[in-house]
Structure 1
Amino acid sequence: MKRLFLSIFTLAAGVSINASEPWTVERCMQYASEHSHTVRQQQFALDDSRASKTQAIGAFLPSVYGSVSGQMNFGRAINPETNTYTDVSTLYNGYALQASLTIFDGLQRYNQLRMARANVAMGRSGVLAEKDDVALKVYKAYMDLVYCEGAVAQTSKKRDESRALLHQTEVMAEVGQKSDADVAQMRATLAADEYELAHMQSQTTKASLALKQLMNYPVDSTLNVVQPSMTFAPATTESPNQVFACASTSNPRILKAQQGVEAARFNLRAARGALLPSLSLSGGVSTSFYKNMDQGGHASFSSQFKNNTGEFIGLSLTIPIFNQLSTSSAIRRRKIALDQARENLEYEQAELHRIIVEASADVDNSAKEVIKMQEQVEADSLASHLTTRKYEEGLASSIDVKTAAVTLLQSRVKLLQSQLTMAYNQRLLAYYKGEKLWTDQ
């Protein structure tokens, strides 16, 4: 019993440790790609396309079916044995086995199979595209959460500095070096810092919930994230057009649109095949059993089943002449669907090119912003330090100290934001170059 209790305790401790284990952005993206509701919906669409492909393959196989019939006649009827009219009650059973095979149908089945294959490929690309979209959204939400946590840390640091400075001001006021107004101003500054800290903690909670929602992660479970590396790659030497040329051959959204055009083209060909004649082959075997209910002396079931057996084979040629404009309307609708698929491909290509140009410009601009913000943080840090020293020496007011501290906090938060924005832009541009958003862990 004691050993069982220790095992349960160890297992519970292990679960707790795993639950509190920090989550990297790659792990969050992988988790979201496996659990997101939108990805699952795309997976269902892929499964449906695979079922349609199986159905298209089955259309090439012959149709085989059997039938059994029973009939009771009362009064005037035809005697199956003598083929003459009779007025007695009779029992009749019929049995048949038939098969049919379409030999030629204007290549409709062939084009429908090719369309089904294109739909399966389009479904795979759709799943990959949805996974990438979810991963990018998770990456952005992850960065928002890291930003909020960083802002909380910076605000908490400023709150502690204001608390220490308030204590110092109170001590200096007791010896007459500071006035009660300075003490009141420092208390107001501390209160403002505490409010800002509470506000940022609330924003952090909202950012965490938003990330969990995108990941389809339990909202009541702990999700600890780690700040991603801020070591940035050197500026790319590839032009946006070169990146677009690479992305247009590998991006799943472009591949999905191309496969949509291909599927629509095969669908149109299948509709045109209905204008051609169709040829089918059929054959079967049948037998029957007859019994006179008023008189005896009928042959046994086995002998009738054998003697009444008959076989047949047939070849049927169907030539379409007029079907109430159904075929022509279907062809016209599928032409429109093909035009829509081509237009969608052009839109996806134009949108991809726009996003790549924008991402490339964002990488360059965010790199400049990081450099400038680093310089501003250094300057504001020095200014805040000097203002605090002047305040201690009586050469600066408490308002000057507050202004310098707020300016430094804003600079530090903006620097963190610009660093995270640059990391996101670089990851986005690398994705369009063909790099994976995450590696399987």
Structure 2
Amino acid sequence: MKRTLIILLAFAAAHVGKSAGQTPWTMQQCMQYAVKHNHEVKRTELELDNRKADKTAAIGNFLPSVGASVGAQYNFGRAINPETNGYTDVSTFYNEYSLYASLPVFDGFSRLHALKAAEASRLMGHQALRQQQNETALSVLQAFTSVAYYEGLVKMAAEKVAETELLLKQTQILEEVGRKSHTDVALVESQKAEADYELTRQQSLYESALLELKKEMAFPVADSLLLDVQTTKTDEAVLSGIMLNDEEHAALQQARYKITASKHEWRQARASLMPTLSVGAGIGTTYYKTLHAANTAAFSSQFKNNMGEYVGFTLSIPLFSRLQSAMGIRRAKNNYKMACEAYEQKHLELEKLSREAWQDWQGYIKQTMQMEKKVEADSLAYQLTRRQFEEGLSTAIDLHTTSAELLKSKATLLQCRLMTMVKEQLVKYYRGETIWTEQ
């Protein structure tokens, strides 16, 4: 019994003592932490910011392009005199200043479709972020369930160790009074060793599951994590309603926005066949000086007198681009069709998975009710067999068989309860509901 107490105290110290002062984490808190700190979620947030930048750049294409330039030039030897437009062989200095602007007036609506494609891409990024958050929450849910399962098995194994140790002492006392044989004592000792082994194995599996949960949460592995494991009741509102919500599921919305973006990219590619019209305007001035000349006009007077302005229109008509435009349109059209096929495939896949989740959920609800009855029956059978063993009416093998069956039933019941909770969250996920709440 002392050894059993030491094992139980060691397990408690590992999960309570070193977590002193730490509030136990619920499943929702674990999912919230993971969504906030997960590296894939952060990467998706940065991708969304890039999509927002692309939309801002698309808006900027509707604004005029403005620039300025300054140039200076020294001429040595034979050159053209800008004052007389004749040749000269003296050294001169030439300085120019210009300010110009241009604006596309018509480009076949290419900029408009580029803006609409960027907006669809931005919305697709929002849904991609939401989808990544949901997938992270689901991964944490699975890992949290595994930890809860193995924690329950550790408790069951510890109880089994305590029971077998007490049974061993009782059998040894009965052997001393002649009611049990040495063979019975050896069989119970074997059961005790088996219980110790099972407890050690379940503790190892529990620690591995806890490490996996920390990894999914992006939680510091060296820090302690105390969990508040509670099985929730079935939400009656989820028992009825649709299995897959096309309008709310993030993955389907993401695929739908991909279709919209591809459609506008296709139209943008077709706009390359249209003529483009742009307007430009500018203002400029110059300064000229013959080096070593005494009668050069002042810089201020030349800057004012040489000032000039211009306004111009440019019409560009594409005639032949070595099939680049045609092939670009072809690729854009294929991308649009591929996006449509991807949406249909994703819809079919999610519809199948949603129905599977619904069926599994219903199955686990029924299995849980059945296993509750089985655990009750196996518990009664174990108590009767143990009493018969104490009275010499059954063997240690019979006791071991009923004990193992009871432990197996308890483990299966725990698994069914936890899987019922997981499948319920999956059903909500496929309906487009948020399975985690923001802080």
Contact 2:231 2:418 in 1 (8 A): no
Structure 1 residues 233-267: Cα deviation after superposition (integer angstroms, max 9, x where no partner): 4495536xx322xx101001110000000000011
Match of residue 183, structure 2, among 181, 184, 207: 181
Match of residue 148, structure 2, among 141, 146, 171: 146
SS in 1 for 2:24: coil
Following superposition, the deviation at residue 379 of structure 1 comes to 1.4
Q: Does 1:355 align with 2:381?
A: no
SS in 1 for 2:36: helix
Question: Is 170-179 or 355-364 further displaced after alignment?
Answer: 170-179
Q: Does 1:315 align with 2:313?
A: yes
Mapping of residues 20-419 of structure 1, within 5 Å:
20-234=22-236, 238=240, 242-244=242-244, 247-419=245-417
Distance across 2 between alignment mates of 1:108 and 1:223: 55
Distance across 1 between alignment mates of 2:19 and 2:63: 57
Following superposition, the deviation at residue 125 of structure 1 comes to 0.4
Question: Is 372-381 or 59-68 further displaced after alignment?
Answer: 372-381
Amino acid of the residue matched to residue 173 of structure 2? V
Contact 1:88 1:294 in 2 (8 A): no
Pair 1:19–1:130, CA change in 2 (3 A): farther
SS in 1 for 2:103: strand
Distance across 2 between alignment mates of 1:345 and 1:267: 17
Following superposition, the deviation at residue 292 of structure 1 comes to 1.0
Distance across 1 between alignment mates of 2:162 and 2:375: 19
2:11 is matched with which residue? none
Structure 1 residues 16-49: Cα deviation after superposition (integer angstroms, max 9, x where no partner): 9797211111111111111111111111110110
Following superposition, the deviation at residue 176 of structure 1 comes to 1.8
The TM-score with structure 2 as length reference comes to 0.93
Question: Is 173-182 or 352-361 further displaced after alignment?
Answer: 173-182
Structure 1 residues 295-330: Cα deviation after superposition (integer angstroms, max 9, x where no partner): 222111111111111111101111110111111111
**Where does structure 1 differ by over 6 angstroms across 4 or more consecutive aligned residues?**
16-19
SS in 2 for 1:383: helix
The TM-score with structure 1 as length reference comes to 0.93
SS in 1 for 2:243: helix
Following superposition, the deviation at residue 230 of structure 1 comes to 4.2
Contact 1:235 1:364 in 2 (8 A): no
Structure 1 residues 93-140: Cα deviation after superposition (integer angstroms, max 9, x where no partner): 111111000000000000000000000000000000110111111111
Contact 1:19 1:222 in 2 (8 A): no
Distance across 2 between alignment mates of 1:293 and 1:435: 80
Amino acid of the residue matched to residue 173 of structure 1? E
Following superposition, the deviation at residue 436 of structure 1 comes to 2.3
Structure 1 residues 419-441: Cα deviation after superposition (integer angstroms, max 9, x where no partner): 11111111211233343212234
Distance across 2 between alignment mates of 1:233 and 1:30: 21
Question: Is 174-183 or 154-163 further displaced after alignment?
Answer: 174-183
Q: Size of the alignment, in residue pairs?
A: 422
SS in 1 for 2:66: strand
Identity of aligned residues (%): 41
Distance across 2 between alignment mates of 1:135 and 1:321: 55
Distance across 1 between alignment mates of 2:351 and 2:138: 17
2:13 is matched with which residue? none
Amino acid of the residue matched to residue 332 of structure 2? R
